[in-house]
Amino acid sequence: MCRLLPACLAFSAVVSGLSLSVVSAAEVPLGLPPLPVPANNPQTDAKVELGDKLFHDARFSTTGEVSCSTCHDANKAFTDNLKVSKGINNLTGTRNAPTVINAAYMETQFWDGREPDLERQSTQPFINPVEMGLADHQPIIDVVQKDPEYQAMFKQVFGIAPDKISMTEVTQAIAAFERTLLSGNSAFDRYYFGGDKTAMSEQQVRGLDVFIGDGRCVSCHTIEETQALFTDSRFHNLGVGFKRIRDSVNETAAQFVMSKQQGADVDVAVLTKANMSELGRFAVSEDVTEVGAFKTPTLRNVELTQPYMHDGSLETLEDVVDFYNNGGREQPDDPIDDFQSGGIRPLDLTDQQKADLVAFLKALTSPEYTHLAKSQD
Amino acid sequence: MSKRMNRREFLTRGGAVLAASTLPLSLVEVAFGKTDERNFTFAFISDSHITHIRGNEFVRNWDRGLVRAIAETNLLSPKPDFIMYGGDIAQLGKPEEIDHGLELLSKLNGDVHYVMGEHDYYLDLGEYWEKQLGPQWYSFDHKGVHFIVLNSILTYDDWMHKKWDSGMARMLQMARLDNPQGSPFMVGETQRQWLKDDLAKVSHDTPVVVFSHSPLQKIYKGWNFWTEDADDVQALLKPFSKVTVFYGHVHQIQYNQVDNMSFHAAMATAWPWPYPQSYAQAKSYMPKLTVQMNRADPFFERDATGWQFIDMDTGDAAMKYNLYDNQNRTVAYNDASGKPEDQRYQAAENRIPPQDHY
């Protein structure tokens, strides 16, 4: 009885409105699907190099101390291991930094999917008051237009004079760099797609069974026939963090909608206002079925990307497994969020099953990051 | 055999919309004119089938479906004037089930009007429901619209009173589909006489809205998507210029136009029904499937369930279906064709092909 279904296609969104070329499956690591690349932003080595430089440039923040890589650190599996990220002057937002590894495959970007693709995603943190803090994108344009190194690189990549460099080229280069951060070929991939039955330990094999069966994880963290992204690209309300607005959800939603109608910026509102952050996907869609719903994250390299959930409220994989086992609650007797997705329910896993599941999740670490793992299973 | 679309096909398949269709956080109005002070809105929840297991345990999934619909209804702004509940609060009519359902429903911010469903009725012939909620059929007026609530799930007296040795035996029979021992639903003569008297006081240009649990039209007898005296009830409604009938029971989107009467079915908060197969004890008129709903995804407990809110433009209804893990739908009256039509999918080329990868 195989229960590994492809992520639901009928309602899925195309990664961007543009036509896409595809880096074929043969060129990506084992266990990953072909890479979608926008036709208007093809991958080139020089562009990737430029994007790499931009990604690590702290001059694009008001303090000159924060870059993309501050919260998406290569030495921390492209996240920051903080509960919620720190921007300029140690200001904190409301959300846990998702890893950029395999973000190229995500059908929407951010926890609430408020941007459709990597190009659009990268425009936001620069001008968020608790991230890089710029009032607008002009300081970035000023830097890249005047810096001789950038001048030469933009000329080489896009064939444009310095005064023609705009945020379009900046974000295209950053996205091209991010599209190289692909990681598969984990123990799971070698076991499941590569046919190497010794790649996972016996406990991890048992854990895969829990993942697919009693744990119900695969319902949202999908595994397909030839590849696995461990996300259905949908939005679900698990009950995480919802207690913050349990008694004020109607006011919070009404307030949010009103301020959005008056021109408030969604990106700023959800990162600076704890209550509004908890509205999740609703903040984007204003659809009442998406109150408190957040995007299913990939589970690849999950061993390295603690703490977990959109608000970083769960510290360890064990905590996460307990949370799901309690039906979307930290404690078994906590109240349940009225808006909770139907798929979340108490699981009654045994201690052995829970331990096996955690062991399996550690089989999702890719070789290039295993040196960052605390435990070597 | 499952047929899968690979990612390339999927990514190059044009026309996919990025955002899920949005439900504006507002109700459209029963409109008598753009600025008429009588404009109002209401919400419609149905078929929660709260099921008692033992002690204080209930089937969690059905509980959660209702809880979620209530929470979402409370988010609507501006607030609906009232909420209609379309029947089948309970699964087997047990007081525990009705009480538990009503306890959940008590969280709704606003007045709720209830319709009797067969699952509420056949254990004790509606006694406990009536004790908690009042009359099984009644009418009320609201801002220029005449609302009528019928109990359409009655049946022959002999079947109800003489055929079964216990209430639970009777209930279990009526809870089944395709049951040769079953009996067709009907409004019955007593209620039809009451309806006639009630309608006698209403001018023919008043918009009339009727709520019943079963469809007041003959769709499929084997599943009681059927009301035996539907023709007689319809005849009483014929003289009015605009009649809209809302019903539950079928757990799926249905819409139809018969003369001056528009029919709309409500989704269930509990589970979806597929379209019935043509097993029939008697001649039936199978619903013509015009817009295929995507098959419910078994991984999503709420897929193909939902609730709805209603916009009645000059007495014509638009059902706005609030659906989970699916595209929200609106079925609205089309003046040009004189019947309700799906706002997005009526045209064949706009339809979502049914999933075939399960």
Mean pLDDT for the stretch of residues B287-312: 66
- Percent of chain B predicted with pLDDT > 70: 79
Pairs of CB atoms within 8 A across A/B: 119
Measured in angstroms, the CA of B62 and the nearest CA of chain A are apart by: 9
Of B17, B68, B297, the CB nearest to A339: B68
Q: Say how far apart CA A21 and CA A37 lie, in whole Å.
A: 5
Measured in angstroms, the CA of A160 and the nearest CA of chain B are apart by: 30
Spacing of C-alpha A254 from chain mean position: 28
- List the single residue in B with minimal CA-CA distance to A342: B301
pLDDT of residue A24: 64
Interface test with A, best of B325, B327, B344, B356 (most A CBs within 10 A): B325
Q: How confident is the model at residue B312 (pLDDT cuts 50, 70, 90)?
A: low
pLDDT of residue B38: 59
Cβ <8 Å between B300 and A342: yes
pLDDT of residue B283: 53
Is residue B255 within 8 Å of B263, Cβ to Cβ?
yes
Instruction: For residue B23, give the 3-state DSSP assignment.
Output: coil
Hey, what long-range contacts does A119-126 have (CB within 8 A, 24 or more apart)? Answer: A119/A16, A119/A38, A119/A41, A119/A171, A119/A172, A119/A174, A119/A175, A120/A171, A121/A175, A122/A68, A122/A170, A122/A171, A122/A174, A122/A175, A122/A178, A123/A167, A123/A171, A124/A267, A125/A68, A125/A71, A125/A87, A126/A60, A126/A61
Structural tokens at position B59: 């089937």
Higher pLDDT, A5 or B293: B293
Apex CA A262: angle with CA A259 and CA A265, to 5°? 65
- List the single residue in B with minimal CA-CA distance to A22: B8
Mean pLDDT for the stretch of residues B176-192: 94
pLDDT of residue A254: 84
Cβ <8 Å between B12 and A17: no
> Helices A138-146 and A148-158 meet at what angle, rounded to 10?
90
Q: How confident is the model at residue B303 (pLDDT cuts 50, 70, 90)?
A: confident
pLDDT of residue B309: 77
Of B8, B24, B60, the CB nearest to A22: B8
Chain A residues closer than 8 Å to B352 by CB: 10-11
Is residue B30 within 8 Å of B311, Cβ to Cβ?
yes
Q: Is the pLDDT of residue B210 over 60?
A: yes
Measured in angstroms, the CA of B104 and the nearest CA of chain A are apart by: 11
Measured in angstroms, the CA of A144 and the nearest CA of chain B are apart by: 32
Instruction: For residue B99, give the 3-state DSSP assignment.
Output: helix
pLDDT of residue A256: 87
Cβ <8 Å between A9 and B327: no
Mean pLDDT in each 10-residue stretch from start to end of chain A (377 residues)?
30 38 74 96 96 97 97 97 96 96 97 96 96 97 97 98 97 98 97 97 98 94 96 94 87 86 87 91 91 96 97 97 96 92 92 98 96 70
pLDDT of residue B292: 53
**DSSP output for A344-357:** --B----HHHHHHH
Instruction: Provide the 10 A C-beta neighbour count for residue A136.
Output: 10
- List the single residue in A with minimal CA-CA distance to B352: A10
| Digit-coded pLDDT (tens) for B119-161 | 999 999 999 999 999 999 999 999 889 999 999 999 999 999 9
Structural tokens at position A31: 């266990």
Residues within 8 A of A (CB atoms), B 276-305 only: 294, 297, 299-302
Structural tokens at position B54: 């033992």
Cβ <8 Å between A287 and B357: no
Q: Indicate the burial class of B256 (C-beta count within 10 angstroms; 0-12, 13-18, 19 or more).
A: middle
Cβ <8 Å between B22 and A286: yes
Longest dimension (CA), chain B: 64
pLDDT of residue A317: 98
Q: Say how far apart CA A70 and CA A64 lie, in whole Å.
A: 11
pLDDT of residue B278: 47
Instruction: Inform me whether the C-beta atom of residue B79 falls under 8 Å from chain A C-beta atoms.
Output: no
Q: Say how far apart CA B60 and CA B64 lie, in whole Å.
A: 6
Which range among A178-192, B67-81, B180-194 shows the weakest confidence by mean pLDDT? B67-81
Cβ <8 Å between B358 and A5: yes
Q: Say how far apart CA A190 and CA B158 lie, in whole Å.
A: 68
Q: How confident is the model at residue B325 (pLDDT cuts 50, 70, 90)?
A: confident
Spacing of C-alpha B129 from chain mean position: 19
Cβ <8 Å between B68 and A33: no
3-state secondary structure B27-94: CCCEECCCCCCCCECEEEECCCCECEEECCEECHHHHHHHHHHHHHHHHCCCCCCEEEECCCCECCCC
Q: Is the pLDDT of residue B6 over 60?
A: no
Q: Indicate the burial class of A180 (C-beta count within 10 angstroms; 0-12, 13-18, 19 or more).
A: middle
- List the single residue in A with minimal CA-CA distance to B72: A288
Q: Say how far apart CA A226 and CA A26 lie, in whole Å.
A: 12
Q: Say how far apart CA A364 and CA A193 lie, in whole Å.
A: 13
Cβ <8 Å between B17 and A253: no
Cβ <8 Å between B16 and A13: yes
Instruction: Provide the 10 A C-beta neighbour count for residue B24.
Output: 13
Chain A residues closer than 8 Å to B22 by CB: 285-287
Q: According to DSSP H, which parts of chain B are helical? A: 7-12, 60-75, 95-105, 118-121, 127-133, 157-161, 167-174, 189-200, 230-237
Apex CA B152: angle with CA B218 and CA B323, to 5°? 75
- Of the candidates A307, A283, A306, the residue with the CA atom closest to the CA atom of residue A294: A283
| Digit-coded pLDDT (tens) for B222-279 | 889 999 999 999 999 999 999 999 999 999 989 999 999 999 999 999 988 876 654 4
Classify strands B329-334 and A235-236 as parallel, antiparallel or unpaired.
unpaired
Q: How confident is the model at residue B11 (pLDDT cuts 50, 70, 90)?
A: very low
Instruction: Inform me whether the C-beta atom of residue B326 falls under 8 Å from chain A C-beta atoms.
Output: yes
Of B60, B71, B357, the CB nearest to A6: B357
Give the list of residues 6+ apart from residue B321 with CB closer than 8 angstroms, or none.
Answer: B253, B267, B306, B308, B328, B329, B330, B331
Q: Is the pLDDT of residue B180 over 50?
A: yes
Cβ <8 Å between B20 and A285: yes
Structural tokens at position A211: 């993942």
Chain B residues closer than 8 Å to A6 by CB: 4-5, 357
Of A34, A225, A234, the CB nearest to B8: A34
Cβ <8 Å between A17 and B4: no
Q: Is the pLDDT of residue B5 over 80?
A: no
